[in-house]
Structure 1
Amino acid sequence: MKTNSLSTKPHYAILDGLRGVAALMVVAFHLCEAHATSHQDQIINHGYLAVDFFFLLSGFVIGYAYDDRWGKMTIGNFFKRRLIRLQPMVVMGSIIGAVCYYFQSSGVFPIIGQTPVWQMLLIMVIGCTMLPIPPSMDIRGWAETYPLNGPAWSLFYEYVVNIFYALVARKLSKTVLSILVILSAGALIHLAVNQGDVIGGWSLNAEQMRIGFCRVMFPFFGGLLLFRIAKLRNIKNAFVWSSLLTIIVLAAPRIGTTENLWMNGLYDSLSIVLIFPLIIFLGASGEIQSAVGKKICKFLGDISYPIYITHYPLIYTYTAWVFDKKIPLKEAYPITILVFIAAVAIAYACLKWYDEPVRAWLNKRAKAPVKVKHESEVEAK
């Protein structure tokens, strides 16, 4: 944990690094997903669990950043801080999504060829506001709440639990919060074991919203409880061990077959309920000693949110190319690597040339005391 002279609190550099590791795994997962025929043969099979990992990280760091500030911070100021932190890149993700959508083929996306430009621009503007759209307004054919930038669905739930935290959860005792976390864990395990995984949450209908709330409630408030009760230790090489464990969990093959889905559901739920809190505990208990390690963690933390919220328009384009050309991964890998590198480059460019300057300007306007590039908050992407 690094002490930051520009902030009143130490900075969890390893947690930033872990967030970046998980974000890169998400990009690799989505690239490989374009070549999968089902959940069974998906490479980097459990990459979708990174979303739940992000939620847990977010709960831990939101508690760390804000639990002791409520005596001098209003709810309005809290919401203002969260909007400044999250919303600029939401807008950029929606704009990039619209640009990529305009040039995409309609083969794997059946509605694209039927969508007028004005309708696409309307969906882009709505996406910039984070207002969810119903399936009847879908312009891609995948029933996404944000059809120009699918992963934005998790930011919707991030906003929801942030609101609940500010209005209710920040006041809960450890006992009441523990009860909420236990009940949420039960709902998550029930969902995963019956469905076979926790995949879902990106559509605005009753079943998908049930999945979305199950996926956010335990991780976020479990992370908040972990922050409040954890007794951190001094763990050597914490970044190495926690990163390896994160990669192993996300890259593990599918467990079981279509005839025993409960096995994979049990893996998903136990990873979220037990292993992810352990990873965050390890990361929060360690400290980066080397200059190289500090630079790596800073870079990974810096690009984690930008890459999560901007990479998926590239995935749409890549998926359309794979679908139209019927190209297997063993032949597509040069382009696959190029897209991966492009996702990182675009994220870094957006961070330096857009996100940081915009947030600095907004913070100045809002007279927010915390410097943008040293903020130690972890979002769920």
Structure 2
Amino acid sequence: MASSQARKFKVEELESVRGIAALLVVLYHLPNWNPFIHHLPIIHGAGFMVDLFFVLSGFVIFTAYQNKLKNWSDVARFQFLRFGRLYPVHLLMLVIYLMIETLKYVLQTKFGIASLSKPPFEENNFYAFLREFFLVKAFWPNETAMTFNSPAWSISAEFYTYLIFAVITLYLNKIKTFVFPLISLICISALFLYQPEHYNFMLRCLAGFFTGCTVAYFILKHGHADGALLPVFTIPLSIVLILSVTILASGFYGYGLIIYPASALLIAGILLTPDNIFKRYLSKTWLIWLGTVSYSLYMSHGAVLWFYNQVIRVAFHHPEVVIRGISTPQFTTGESILLSIIYLMICFTLAQLMYSYIEKPFREKSRRFLNIKN
């Protein structure tokens, strides 16, 4: 394999990919202030970037832990570290969303100001709170799982996928490199054959994560020391495939399933091709930073958007239309672009603060608790 120094830069390049994917998800959730922005193909189909997250996660976890889970103590430590990585930010956002529901309730009952979209605590009710609190929302139908902080469904799915990975590695270590691609193949086949649009969260996570494990095994086993095993065009080819999915696919089935092999090809291209313009661009400092704060950005952007929308309503009093059950102010194309830029700046600022004061400190505390030095 490549030297440790080279591997460091390759990890940074993958961080950049994660950051770009997170940015596209944020843009995907922009309200339909104006059809021009909302219906841009790369933004309209950016929900597939979550599946790219899953593949990246599988690659990282397999690379780091394929030979480290020898007993149940190792599994417990592994899962505790995953918990320390995910849960503090998740819990903070859950509390913020609970405060939003409470604010909506007070405004409605005390001041007669009714919500323009969903009534307070109708969908974000006690049972939804419990599902969110215990990280089990991904096991419910998609519509039921999209409560409180809706992006947290992927965190729920990943947390239990980590556990599945750990148990398989512990008990089936000798054949795990057969089991992992088999799980991925079964899940992709199920998505293709049954097209479970309303119950596919765990299938998507398992398909992506174990695709990532499979490409990690391939790279660890077959990668050359100089990192040059694949032609340079592998990276642009994978990017074209991923973009074609976001533009052409109509759902998480059929052509949309290309996202898994395309994401794997992108990872392999980054790690196993010679130095090229794509890899140099992915090594840009600002992209690496975006990848570093991507989890905080991903988890917090929905709450930022709710508050931002309220400010827009009060400040501009523009006409609103109900789109997918949500009352949405309407603006010109230019106004929407400006509003989107300001929104992104706020999201980036909050993501950096959340990373610095919540995500990173709690991750370090969980490692210190287990006496992990590096």
Same fold per TM (> 0.5)?
yes
Instruction: Name the amino acid aligned to 2:119.
Output: I
CA distance in 2, matches of 1:99, 1:35: 29
Distance 1:155 1:19 in 2: 15
Higher relative contact order (CA 8 A, sep 6+): 1
- d(CA) in 2 for partners of 1:100 and 1:240? 48
Q: Give, in whole Å, the separation in 2 of the partners of 1:2 and 1:64.
A: 15
Instruction: Say if 1:110 and 1:280 are closer, same or farther in 2 by CA, change over 3 A.
Output: same
CA displacement at 1:347 relative to structure 2: 0.6
In the superposition, relative to structure 1, how do residues 120 and 178 fare at CA in structure 2: closer, same or farther (>3 Å)? Answer: closer
Distance 1:85 1:368 in 2: 14
- Is it true that 1:362 corresponds to 2:338 in the alignment? no
- Output the CA distance in 1 between the equivalents of 2:147 and 2:180: 35
| Matching residue of 2:47 | 48
> Gaps (5+ residues) in structure 1?
137-141, 201-206, 371-381
Q: Distance between the aligned counterparts of 1:31 and 1:368, measured in 2?
A: 40
Equivalent in 127, 137, 152 of residue 132 of structure 1: 137
Within 2, Cα distance between the matches of 1:239 and 1:296?
24
Kindly report which structure 2 residues correspond to 1:1-381, keeping only aligned pairs within 5 A, or say none: 3=4, 12-31=11-30, 44-71=43-70, 74-103=74-103, 107-112=115-120, 127-132=132-137, 143-145=143-145, 147-169=147-169, 171=172, 172-191=175-194, 194=195, 207-208=198-199, 211-230=200-219, 231-232=222-223, 234=227, 242=235, 246=239, 249-250=242-243, 254-255=247-248, 265-272=253-260, 274-285=261-272, 293=283, 295-317=285-307, 321=313, 323=321, 324=327, 326-328=329-331, 330=333, 331-370=335-374
Conserved 8 A contact 1:94-1:149: yes
Mark the CA change 1:36 to 1:102 in structure 2 (over 3 Å): closer, same or farther. farther
In the alignment, is the contact (CA less than 8 A) between 1:133 and 1:146 conserved in 2? no
Aligned amino acid, residue 228 of structure 1: Y
Per the alignment, do residues 352 and 242 of structure 1 end up closer, same or farther by CA in structure 2, a change over 3 Å counting?
farther
- Distance, in Å, in 2 between the alignment partners of 1:190 and 1:44 is 27
Offset of residue 329 of structure 1: 5.8
1:333 deviation in Å? Answer: 2.6
Amino acid at match of 1:92: L
Structure 1 residues 96, 34: CA separation in 2 closer, same or farther (over 3 Å shift)? farther
Per-residue CA distance 1:138-194 (angstroms, 9 max, x = gap): xxxx94426220000011110111111111256234333333332222112224xx5
Residues 91 and 129, structure 1, Cα contact 8 Å, conserved in 2: no
Matching residue's letter, 1:66: Y
Paired with 1:102 and 1:293, the residues of 2 have a C-alpha distance of: 43
Counterpart position of 2:316: none
Q: CA deviation at 1:26?
A: 0.5
Query: Does the Cα contact within 8 Å between 2:94 and 2:132 map onto a contact in 1?
Result: yes
Give the 3 Å change call, closer, same or farther, for CA 31–267 of structure 1 in structure 2. same
Identity %: 19
Instruction: Say if 1:247 and 1:358 are closer, same or farther in 2 by CA, change over 3 A.
Output: farther
Deviation string, structure 1 residues 228-275 (Cα, Å, up to 9, x no partner): 123346369x9998589558735866538xxxx68x843311232x21
1:108 Cα offset (Å): 4.7
Higher helix proportion (structure 1 or 2):
2
Q: CA-to-partner distance for each residue in 1:34-79, whole Å, 9 max, x for gaps?
A: 6569x98866121000111111111111100100212486111111
Q: TM (normalized to structure 2)?
A: 0.74
Q: CA shift at 1:345, angstroms?
A: 1.0
TM-score w.r.t. length of structure 1: 0.73
Q: CA RMSD in A?
A: 4.2
Structure 2 counterpart of 1:275, which letter? A
Change (3 A) 1:368 1:317: same
Change beyond 3 A, Cα 1:111–1:90: same
Amino acid at match of 1:64: T
Letter in 1 for 2:272: S
1: CA distance, partners of 2:329 / 2:269: 43
Amino acid at match of 2:47: Y
Does the CA contact (< 8 Å) of 1:62 and 1:224 recur in 2? Answer: yes
Please give the secondary structure, in 2, of the residue aligned with 1:59. Answer: helix
